Amino acid sequence: IFDAFHPVKGQLRFRIRIGEEKADKKLWWQAIIHNNPMSLEELSKLMRGVSKEEIQHVKEKFIKGSSYTVSSALTKAMGAVARMYSSASPVSTPERFDAILKYAWLDRLEKKAFLVTPEQMERIRISKKAGPFIVRLTPRETKLRKPVWRDQPINLNLPLDPAGFNFSKVKAEEILLPEVMLSKNKWRVIINAAPCETYASLLVPEFTTNQYLSKSDVAGFVEYLSGTYAYVFYHSLWAAASMNSKHFQIYYSKPYLFNFISNPSHSIQEKMGDIWFGRGFGYPSNLLTLSGNNREMLVEGLWRVIDYLQTRNMPFNLQGIGRQIVVIPVAQEISPLSPNQYWGASEHSGVPSIMEKE
């Protein structure tokens, strides 16, 4: 007798007789035996993509009973999050920060804070290798909203529409980390209500503004990268941003792009001060890379690039991890696979999200 723990299905109990596994697999692997909830082959497919953290979270819930809650533990942890960037205490580590975020994410999943059904959440676990890239399904088959600015002349500094949805209108249960200090400004991490992968979240400022970056935002982006092992993405308008409300996207799966640029033969590098600037080649997107250990210089270099693009209304994607940052100018945001889908930072990094299963 053994139990499997799944974030959507919960606790699943299975039985198999000792020695049964020596028989033909059709009799014990592919068939449903002993009134099990599914075949072991189906269980194997179901558990693909489920992380250790998700399994442990569900396991703890069932072991401790249905009254088990993590809210008190999260409450104690939140104070540490607010201090982590200015404190040298043991809590100010990427491991600790990411663990708190992931635990909060699983808690919101359990409490059904996401705007997707369990069946839709199962779609995000379906992926397929395509050369060096990973193609995955989005939770929904259609996009909920079409950007109102799509057919207008490009204006990256398009004013925020206060009457439309923006991230000042999120609910309390959608907030994962309520206060993260970045570049002396308050930010918060919230759920991505229709995530494309486990732990996918959004970083948004305390005071909502349009999807247009200031130098302070760039400094906050670089500072956030120093305190996490996540990959952080940004889309300008006309470069796959679906909302004109300032936000960065947070992912934990490693995209192919960062393996690509780690190969010295894939870029031409030039050092300016303490920063390395590079131009990638041999990749399906135009790549400008920046790296360096001097955070102030990295902010300054990145800001000059972004300011150049924004003031000239040149749409772009931005992505980074640690001290490695990639800027991708975007000429066309519509997916080459579907006229109803946008091609953003995730796609340019080698993880295309596809709405249509076919």
Report, as an integer, the average pLDDT of 204-232. Answer: 96
- Give the integer Cα–Cα distance in Å for 197 and 186: 26
Contact 220, 164 (CB under 8 A): no
- In this prediction the pTM is 0.76
**H helical segments located in 285-358:** 295-311, 345-348
Residue 64 has pLDDT above 70, yes or no: no
CA torsion sign for 163, 165, 166, 167 is positive
In this prediction, residue 30 carries a pLDDT of 92
Provide the token pair at 70.
């993590």
The structure tokens 């997916």 sit at 335
The residues pairing with 267 across neighbouring beta strands, listed in sequence order, are 280
The residues pairing with 250 across neighbouring beta strands, listed in sequence order, are 201, 232
Burial of 336 (0-12, 13-18, 19+ CB in 10 A): exposed
One-letter identity of residue 328: I
pLDDT-derived band at 322, boundaries 50, 70, 90: very high
pLDDT digits (tens, 9 = 90+) for 258-315: 999 999 889 899 999 899 999 998 888 889 999 999 999 999 999 999 999 999 999 9
Provide the token pair at 146.
């079409």
The structure tokens 């991505």 sit at 192
- Give the integer Cα–Cα distance in Å for 348 and 283: 9
The structure tokens 């109102």 sit at 148
DSSP state at residue 159:
P
Average pLDDT, the chain: 85
In this prediction, residue 36 carries a pLDDT of 92
Better pLDDT: 55 or 301:
301
Report, as an integer, the average pLDDT of 34-62. Answer: 83
In this prediction, residue 145 carries a pLDDT of 67
Residue 131 has pLDDT above 80, yes or no: yes
Least confident of 27-31, 224-228, 322-326, 338-342: 338-342
DSSP state at residue 320:
E
Residue 111 has pLDDT above 90, yes or no: no
In this prediction, residue 297 carries a pLDDT of 95
> How many CB atoms sit inside 10 A of residue 258's CB?
18
> How many CB atoms sit inside 10 A of residue 238's CB?
24
Of 81, 128, 125, whose CA–CA distance to 104 is shortest?
Answer: 81
DSSP state at residue 250:
E
In this prediction, residue 33 carries a pLDDT of 92
The structure tokens 């995000």 sit at 124
Residue 79 has pLDDT above 60, yes or no: no
